[in-house]
Amino acid sequence: MYTLRDWMIVDDGRDGQSALENGNRLLIGNGYMAKRGTVEEADASYMPAIILSGVYDKYGDLWREPVNAPDPLFTILSVDCVPLTLTSERLATHEQSLDFRYGVYSRNTTWNVKDANLTISTERFISMDDVHLLCMKYTVSTDSDCLSLSIEICINTDIHDLNGPHLGNFQFEVKGQTHTLVCETLEKKIPIAIANEIVERKSLSYLIEENRSLYFFNMDGSNSVELFVFGAIWTGLDVDDPLVNVKKSVSRAKEVGWDRLLAAHKAKWDENWRAGDVVIKGDDYAQRVLRYSLYHMHIIVPRYKRICGSLSIPARGLSGQTYKGAVFWDTEMFIAPYFLVTEPELAAQFIRYRIETLPGARRKAAEYGFRGAFFAWESQETGDDACTDFGVTDVFTGRPVRTYFRDKQIHISADIVFAIKRYVDATCDFVILKEGGLELILEVARFYLSHIYYSPDRKRYESLDVVGPDEYHERVNNNAFTNRMILMVFETAEAFLNLLKEGDEAFIEKLLAKLDFSEDISLMRDVIPHFYVPQPNGQGIIEQFDGYFRLEDCSIDTVRSRLKDPKEYWGGGNGVASTTRIIKQADVVTMLALFGVDYSIPIKEANLAFYEPRTEHGSSLSACMYALLACEVGGSDWAYPFFIRSAEIDITGKSKHFAGLVYIGGTHPAANGGAWLTAVHGFCGFSLKNNKIHVTPRLPSHWEKITFRAALPDGLHEVTVTRDGWNEEII
C-alpha cells in the first residue's frame, strides 16, 4: 500500500502487481531518459526499464517502440552466493519511496540472514543538471555478524521489451571500476553507449567476471558498506562519438562526487518549481496529488537540445514502451497548456516537433489518397504513423482486431492546429507561424478540404467516416467534435493568412505559390459558411455523431454486465459499447470545453448532464474535460472529484491496464496536464491572450487560495486566486 505525504510517496508492496505499479508510481527522469521505480536487483519479470526519449527501434514485424537501455545501475547483493530478492523467504521489511520534489528514488529492504538483519538502503536520481547521468548510493548494513556477502554490479542487458529485442552488437569493456558497453539499435544502427563507475566509501576486494564486478566482504554489525554507482548514457543521436562522451561523463561524475551532483540536480529542480509549482491552501490532498502530477510532466519534458530534431512528449511519457513511445494528441491538448504558461519555449518546441514531422504527415495523407497533411495518430521521430491497423487483440480468438485509430481518427491534424493557434493567441509569437507554423496549418486545411464531401441533398459540407475522441464508436459521420475542429482549422488558416499578409505580403505570396494553394483558398472560402457542425436539438443536446441517438440507451453497468471477459475491448466491431450510447471519453463535452464561447450555459449544462452518465471514462483524458466544462457552468464542486481522479491516476494505479490482450499500462501525462488544466483554467477561470492574464475565480468551496505562476515576456507573474478575487504580481 502506498502512503502519500508532502512531496513524498512511499509504498511497501512487494508482489508482482506492486512491482508493476511502483515501476510507474516511483518513476524518475529528466526528459532525456527515465528509469522505472523498480529495485536495483529486479530481473526482467519486474519490467524494469530505462526509456530513452526519441530513440526508437523496430524488431522484425513487431511494433516500432522506444528503446529500453541497458541499466548501468544494476546491483545485486548475495549471501553465500544466494541473491537476496523481494521474493526471498527471508525478506523482513521492504519500502520504496519517491521524493517528488527532487526526483529522488529510495528503497529500504531488510532480510533476516543467519540471525542478523541485513538491510539495503539506496537512493538514486537521474540528473536534471546533466541529462546523461544516473547516480546511485547503495548502502548495506547489519545489526549483527554477517559473513560471506557479495555485491554484483554490471551494465544489465537482460532487458524486458514489449516488442523487442532492439539492441545488438554488444561490446563490453571493464577497466578497473569502470564498465562500458557500446551497442546499437537493430533497425537504424543507432549507437548507444552506457558506462558506469563504481566508487566505494571504503575499499573492498573485488574481481571481474564476465563483465560483472563482484565485491566480497563480511560485516560485524558495527559498520556499513557504502557504494556509489555513477552511470551515464549517450546515443548517436546526441553526439557523434557517444563512447567518448559516456566515459567522460562517468569520470567527471566520480570526480564531482555524489553530494555536489545531487546539489546541482536539486538546484535545477528548484528552478523548475519556481515557475511550475502550484500552491493550494485548504486542501492538503489536492496539493499533494497536483504536485505529483506536475512532477510527472517535469521528468518527461525534453528540455535538452538534440542534434537531430525537436522532441515532444509520448502519451505514456517515458514510463515504458506502451503505446510505442508515440506522441498522440495528448501533448497538444492536455500537456502543452501547462508549459505554455510556465515555460512557453517548451510549448513552442512541441510545435516545432510537428513542423519538422510535416513530411511524414504529407506521406500519410498521400498514402490514403488525400492531399495536405494527415498527422500520425502515433507519431515517432519521423512523423510516419506508428499506429497499426490492428491495435487490439481479441480475447476470445487471440486474433488481432482491426481498429481505425490510424486511418479515421483524423482530428489529430486539427488538434495540432488548435495548439498552434492557442500558442500564438497567448504569446503573439508570429515567428513560429513564419517558421513553418502557417505552412503546417495550410497543409492541414488542405487535408480536410480533400477529405470533406458536399451533400447536394442537405446543401452542406460534411465530414464522413471518422473516429472521434470516443474511440468506441468507429467510422461515424459528422462527429460534432471533429467537425467543429475542422471548421476551426479553416477559420484559423484564413485568419492567420490575413494577419500575416498585413505584415508581410511577400511572405504569404511566396508561401501560397510554393504550396500551389490558390484553388484551395477559393474552396476553403466556399466551405466555411456551408460546413456542417451538429447543433443542439430541442433538449439542448448535441448528437455526438449522425445516428448516435438511434443507439441503445442503457447504463454503463448494463454494458459492463455483458462482458464475458474482464480484458475485453469495449469498442470496435464486436465491443459491448459499440452498439450503445455508452462512450469511452469526453467527446461532445471536449468540444464544448474547447469552444466554450460558442455555447450558452444551458447548452453546456444539458450536455454535461446527458453525456456524463453515459461516459465510461475509459481514457485518462476524459475526467478533466468534464471538470473543465463543469467549472464553466458553476459546478466546481461537481468538478472536484474529476479533478482528483485526473490528478491521482498515477498514484492509485487505477487505470486500464489492458485493451483486449494488449498491455496499455504506464503513466498518464495527459491526465497530469488535465489536473493542472482543471486547477488553473477550471477552478481559476484562467486564460492567457496576447500575454495578458484573465482570471474568473470559481474555486471548490473548501479551497481557500491557489497560487500559480505564468512566465510572460515581462517576467514571472505570480497569480493568487481566492474564492472572491485574485491578484497578479511580477516576482
- Asked if 470 touches a second copy (CB under 8 A), the answer is no
86 CB-near residues (< 8 Å, 6+ apart):
14, 19, 39, 94, 109
List the catalytic residue out of 381, 471, 474, 568: 471
Q: How far is the CB of 510 from a second copy (least distance, A)?
A: 25
- Residue corresponding to grid cell 502550484: 278
The answer to whether residues 617 and 585 touch, using CB atoms and an 8 Å cutoff, is: yes
Q: Which of residues 362-381 bind a second copy (CB under 8 A)?
A: 369, 371
HSE-CB of 459 using CA atoms within 13 angstroms: 1
Q: How far is the CB of 457 from a second copy (least distance, A)?
A: 4
Q: Which stretch binds a second copy (CB under 8 A): 149-157, 167-175, 299-307, 444-452?
A: 444-452
Tell me the sheet residues that pair with 379: 327, 385
Burial of 513 per CB tally in 10 Å (0-12, 13-18, 19+): exposed
Tell me the sheet residues that pair with 689: 692
- Asked if 444 touches a second copy (CB under 8 A), the answer is no
- Asked if 449 touches a second copy (CB under 8 A), the answer is yes
- Asked if 576 touches a second copy (CB under 8 A), the answer is yes
Of 128, 311, 333, 401, the one binding a second copy by CB under 8 A: 401
- Taking Cα atoms as reference points, which of 498, 499, 384, 491 lies closest to residue 448? 491
**Which CB, 465 or 637, lies closer to a second copy?**
465
Of 115, 240, 259, 397, the one binding a second copy by CB under 8 A: 397
Q: Which of residues 523-562 bind a second copy (CB under 8 A)?
A: 523, 527, 546, 562
Element (H, E) at 527: helix 518-527
Question: Residue 72, preceding bond cis, omega within 30 degrees?
Answer: no
Q: How far is the CB of 496 from a second copy (least distance, A)?
A: 22
Q: How far is the CB of 369 from a second copy (least distance, A)?
A: 8
DSSP-assigned letters across all residues of 369-431? T--S----SSB-SSS-B---SEEEE-TTT--EEE--HHHH-THHHHHHHHHHHHHHHHH--TH
Q: Which stretch binds a second copy (CB under 8 A): 206-214, 422-430, 446-454, 638-646?
A: 446-454
What does the per-residue mask of binding to a second copy show for 473-492, with x meaning CB under 8 A?
A: --x-x---------------
The answer to whether residues 606 and 541 touch, using CB atoms and an 8 Å cutoff, is: yes
**Which CB, 274 or 562, lies closer to a second copy?**
562
Of 119, 579, 687, 722, the one binding a second copy by CB under 8 A: 579
Burial of 424 per CB tally in 10 Å (0-12, 13-18, 19+): buried
- Asked if 452 touches a second copy (CB under 8 A), the answer is yes
**Which CB, 454 or 663, lies closer to a second copy?**
454
- Asked if 239 touches a second copy (CB under 8 A), the answer is no
- Asked if 462 touches a second copy (CB under 8 A), the answer is yes
The C-alpha atoms of residue 630 and residue 609 are separated, in whole angstroms, by 10
Q: How far is the CB of 552 from a second copy (least distance, A)?
A: 10
Of 578, 652, 687, 722, the one binding a second copy by CB under 8 A: 578
Burial of 519 per CB tally in 10 Å (0-12, 13-18, 19+): exposed
Q: Strand runs (DSSP E) across 558-714, as ranges?
A: 658-659, 662-663, 687-689, 692-694, 705-712
Q: How far is the CB of 684 from a second copy (least distance, A)?
A: 43
Q: How far is the CB of 568 from a second copy (least distance, A)?
A: 8
- Asked if 412 touches a second copy (CB under 8 A), the answer is no
The C-alpha atoms of residue 45 and residue 539 are separated, in whole angstroms, by 54
- Asked if 399 touches a second copy (CB under 8 A), the answer is yes
Q: Which stretch binds a second copy (CB under 8 A): 31-39, 271-279, 456-464, 614-622?
A: 456-464
Burial of 89 per CB tally in 10 Å (0-12, 13-18, 19+): exposed
**Which CB, 427 or 580, lies closer to a second copy?**
580
DSSP-assigned letters across all residues of 241-280? -HHHHHHHHHHHHHHH-HHHHHHHHHHHHHHHHHHH--EE
Determine phi and psi for 210, rounding to 5 degrees. 45, 55
Q: Is the alpha carbon torsion for 450, 455, 458, 464 positive or negative?
A: negative
The answer to whether residues 276 and 346 touch, using CB atoms and an 8 Å cutoff, is: no
Q: Which stretch binds a second copy (CB under 8 A): 165-173, 241-249, 399-407, 585-593?
A: 399-407
Q: How far is the CB of 362 from a second copy (least distance, A)?
A: 15
Supply angle C-alpha 60, 64, 69, rounded to 5.
100
- Asked if 389 touches a second copy (CB under 8 A), the answer is yes
**Which CB, 448 or 642, lies closer to a second copy?**
448
Q: Is the alpha carbon torsion for 251, 253, 258, 259 positive or negative?
A: positive
Q: Give yes or no: 471 in active site.
A: yes
The answer to whether residues 682 and 636 touch, using CB atoms and an 8 Å cutoff, is: yes
- Asked if 402 touches a second copy (CB under 8 A), the answer is yes
- Asked if 61 touches a second copy (CB under 8 A), the answer is no
- Asked if 455 touches a second copy (CB under 8 A), the answer is yes
Q: How far is the CB of 409 from a second copy (least distance, A)?
A: 16
Tell me which residues are annotated as active site. Answer: 471
The residues binding a second copy (CB under 8 A) are 369, 371, 389-390, 394, 396-399, 401-402, 449-457, 461-462, 464-465, 475, 477, 523, 527, 546, 562, 564, 572-574, 576, 578-579
